[in-house]
Structure 1
Amino acid sequence: MSAAAVTVLAAAVLTGCSDGSDGSDKNSSRRSGGPAPDGLPGTDSASITFTPVDALSADQLKRTADRMRRRTELMHLSGAGVSVEDGHITVTARGDEADRLSGLGREGALDFRPVTAVVPASGSGASSPPAEVRRQLDALTCPAAPAKAPPEPSGPLLACAQDGQEKFALGPVAVRGSEVRDASASISPDSGGWQINVTFSAKGAKRFGDLTQKLAAEQPTGGNRLAIVLDGVVMSAPSVMSRIPGGKVQISGGFTRDKAEELAAAIGSGSLPTRLEGSEVTRPKG
């Protein structure tokens, strides 16, 4: 596959921040503060209860609840509350935020992996990975069911694109989500669409710079795509054209405001110790 073809297939754009900012100061999302007055439409509370798939100790449950509180802050859920009772975590928020509550239970396991092969989910296309890899990708059904256990960081991974259009064979994790220091959502001054601003730790910045430099050198072979994987799903797989220094990048991919805030909250708060199963959201009556 040519480098040009790879660029066309990229579902998102990955850019570095050249001015030293993370892109969030001028255009960061802010919701109105405090609950709306009683009696107005949508002001009754909504709630959802999460149950850990795996048994958690009291300390793990507390840390999970703390991270979910952080997520409500990053998603600007005004007046949201998080409580723990009998091994369950319940989140309560304003009624007009009901549709956003289920996103709080996202595991939030973020990885950056090199793309080793990609085929269209439709099964047709010019890509010709090795026969065994092609067989494995053909057997992969998208969207894939949630994994029962996190993928092995040092091993390969088969994954679907979030839009269901492509299937990927990925190499081992090159940069882990634990190397991310902060994440936020903002409006891109270039495209006007919503983006996720990621800031790495010092160690993560070096690893990410080295990774992008290595991938950029693969442009002639078309092997310069980088997969940004969240909870086993490829959120985007942009082409890398040059080293991205500085440890600050922006990820854009046709996100809505709510989705950008949800993903930034999951990335910025750190992954949860286990997958959570959410109940049906209890919504305001009427």
Structure 2
Amino acid sequence: MTTSRRASAGPRRGKRSAPAREIPPWRPLAVFIILLAVVYGLIFFTGSKSLEPKLGIDLQGGTRVTLTARTENGKAPTRDQLDKAKQIIEKRVNGLGVSGSEVVVNGDNLVITVPGEDGDQAKTLGQTARLFVRPVVGQPIAAQPQAPKPPAQPAPNADPQAEAKKAIDEQRKLRQAPADADQARLTQLQEQMAKIDCSTQTRDPLAGNDVPDQYLVACSEKGDAVYLLGPQIIDGRDIKTASSGTDPQTGEWIVTLEFNDKAGDFWAGYTAKSRGTQTAFTLDSAVVSAPQINEAIPGGKTRISGGSQDPFTESSAGDLANVLKYGSLPLSFTPSDAETVSATLGLSSLRAGLIAGAVGLIAVLLYALAYYRMLGLLTVASLILAGAMVYGIIVLLGRWIGFTLDLAGIAGLIIGIGMTADSFVVYFERIKDEIREGRTFRSAVPRGWASARRTIWSGNAVSFIAAAVIYVLAIGEVRGFAFTLGLTTILDVVVVFLVTHPLVVLASRSAFLSKPSVNGLGAVTEVARRRRVAAHKPVPEAEGSVR
């Protein structure tokens, strides 16, 4: 028996397993500081240096544009047509980076509300975007100034839809001819080119209502030239994608189009046999660009440029690319004048809400300081760093994707920050549980962390899944709430792992901060001491017992 005890107590022969190498706590802290510096470096050294996030409609007001639907036959649009148009316009809103906007069906109209004071962007969302590629017949001519005409007075009890249909039919007779039209009819169209009114103040009745398989007399988008165009050779719905950018050689802004396979093959053959001719890209019966074909364009990709006289700007190229990318609307719309929408809350209400949130946060921090003492100070430091990171990211998202912060988004931020404080409480309570078992503060930290991090992972995973589901299924302001809630949930994990835990580890290695009177763990340390005393105290024997 003695030999056995000595053998078991002696050193084992062979290789020993190397202990797990602990990561120094200053490393994750340095990673977080670097990330925070990168965020604010992007704020100050890219774009504007403003630290103000973009605000939503309820906090800063916005612009409202009403789009009145028009049908070719003059009848009222169907609900399916309006719903489809709403879906396409909502996609265009996202493509233009207009966050926090609303698109509502109101009778036969669509009402678009976007944050900010500029209504031009909202007006472009309702373009029908009927894009056709048409060959240019003959030479374009300069648009002649037309004498101003008095506004037409509608007849008593006239039907607006019937009047619109009548205006479309009249323009078709004057400016369109069948594909098999003879030379005499084409001559009439050429004569009509000098008489057409290209004034940009007057909406073209054929905008979005032309017959693509016929000849067309059309103005340029700026109203400075008139073209005679042949029947369309490619439909805009054959566009696979569209994007804006600059020409690497000239630096001019262009729109790059990519056709689908069938249209791309046709375009390659057409450009190969049409060198030296002009081909027009028409958008809503207006010529956006009429470049000359200099060579064959294989691969299904081509470019639209604004021309040397009127080149594209970054804004106009981006608007056109996004409108084309998201397809044509099933209806033609007439936009009304943009009207300003005042903020429903205003700056005073926002200020009052922020003050109330600050009072609640200060109360939580005071309670943490009174209950956890030194650990409460670590809570304060972690929340300050978390708030700085969240704010910087929101400012960047406002620049990059047009994210706007509204009241619902602020509610998501407050709830997310509250969940971050809850993660701290879980961690600290696990440490106190270990100290109650008789361990020191230094030995309780790694054991408490091993238990707490599983709970923190699980709780944040559930919160993030809930935020993702709400974001996918909800619409409007509720999506802003879900977005900020999911963002703060992710940052909760980052802050706890990269800031809070390393700070607690550093505190546990400090002789001063490890004192129970300093770190706020004196009560649980006393409980552990009493348990040890009770465990080693002999139990008195009962009188008259038999041994």
With the shorter chain as reference, the TM-score category is: 0.7 to 0.9
Q: Is the 8 A contact 2:279 2:292 kept in 1?
A: yes
Q: Is the 8 A contact 1:226 1:238 kept in 2?
A: yes
Task: Determine if the alignment matches structure 1 residue 170 to structure 2 residue 223.
Answer: no
Offset, 1:94:
1.2
For 1:115, the aligned partner's letter is V
Offset, 1:193:
2.9
In 1: Cα distance, 2:302 partner to 2:289 partner:
13
Structure 1 counterpart of 2:322: 265
Q: Is the 8 A contact 1:71 1:104 kept in 2?
A: yes
1:7-63: CA deviation from partner (whole Å, max 9, x where unpaired): xxxxxxxxxxxxxxxxxxxxxxx9xxx971479xx9322221212123221111110
For 2:70, the aligned partner's letter is V
Offset, 1:177:
0.4
In 2: Cα distance, 1:231 partner to 1:95 partner:
27
Change (3 A) 1:238 1:63: same
In 1: Cα distance, 2:187 partner to 2:110 partner:
46
Structure 2 counterpart of 1:49: 66
Offset, 1:200:
0.8
In 1: Cα distance, 2:115 partner to 2:140 partner:
43
Please list, as runs of the form range in 1=range in 2, the aligned pairs for 1:1-286 lying within 5 A after superposition.
36-37=54-55, 43-54=60-71, 55-121=76-142, 131-143=187-199, 145-147=204-206, 150-216=209-275, 219=276, 224-253=277-306, 254-284=311-341
Higher strand share: 1
Change (3 A) 1:283 1:206: same
Offset, 1:258:
2.2
In 1: Cα distance, 2:245 partner to 2:60 partner:
26
Change (3 A) 1:99 1:141: closer
In 1: Cα distance, 2:102 partner to 2:53 partner:
12
Report SS of the residue matched to 1:92: strand
Report SS of the residue matched to 2:249: coil
For 2:68, the aligned partner's letter is T
For 1:62, the aligned partner's letter is D
RMSD between aligned alpha carbons? 2.7
Choose 199-208 or 107-116, whichever is displaced more. Answer: 199-208
Change (3 A) 1:48 1:233: same
In 2: Cα distance, 1:188 partner to 1:148 partner:
30
For 2:67, the aligned partner's letter is F
Report SS of the residue matched to 2:140: strand
Structure 2 counterpart of 1:18: none
Q: Is the 8 A contact 2:135 2:279 kept in 1?
A: yes
Q: Is the 8 A contact 1:77 1:97 kept in 2?
A: no
Q: Is the 8 A contact 2:142 2:226 kept in 1?
A: yes
In 2: Cα distance, 1:35 partner to 1:49 partner:
28
Higher helix share: 2
Offset, 1:241:
0.8
Structure 2 counterpart of 1:17: none
Q: Which has the higher contact order (CA 8 A, sep 6+)?
A: 1
Q: Is the 8 A contact 2:208 2:284 kept in 1?
A: no
In 1: Cα distance, 2:87 partner to 2:189 partner:
41
Name structure 1 gaps, 5 residues minimum: 1-29, 124-129
Offset, 1:114:
0.6
In 1: Cα distance, 2:64 partner to 2:208 partner:
28
Q: Is the 8 A contact 2:259 2:300 kept in 1?
A: yes
Q: Is the 8 A contact 2:207 2:286 kept in 1?
A: no
Q: Is the 8 A contact 1:121 1:142 kept in 2?
A: no
1:61-117: CA deviation from partner (whole Å, max 9, x where unpaired): 110001101111221212222222323212121114433111111110000011112
State the TM-score, normalized to the length of structure 1: 0.76
Report SS of the residue matched to 2:214: coil
Change (3 A) 1:149 1:46: closer
State the TM-score, normalized to the length of structure 2: 0.41
Report SS of the residue matched to 1:283: strand
In 1: Cα distance, 2:120 partner to 2:132 partner:
27
Offset, 1:133:
4.5
Offset, 1:132:
4.1
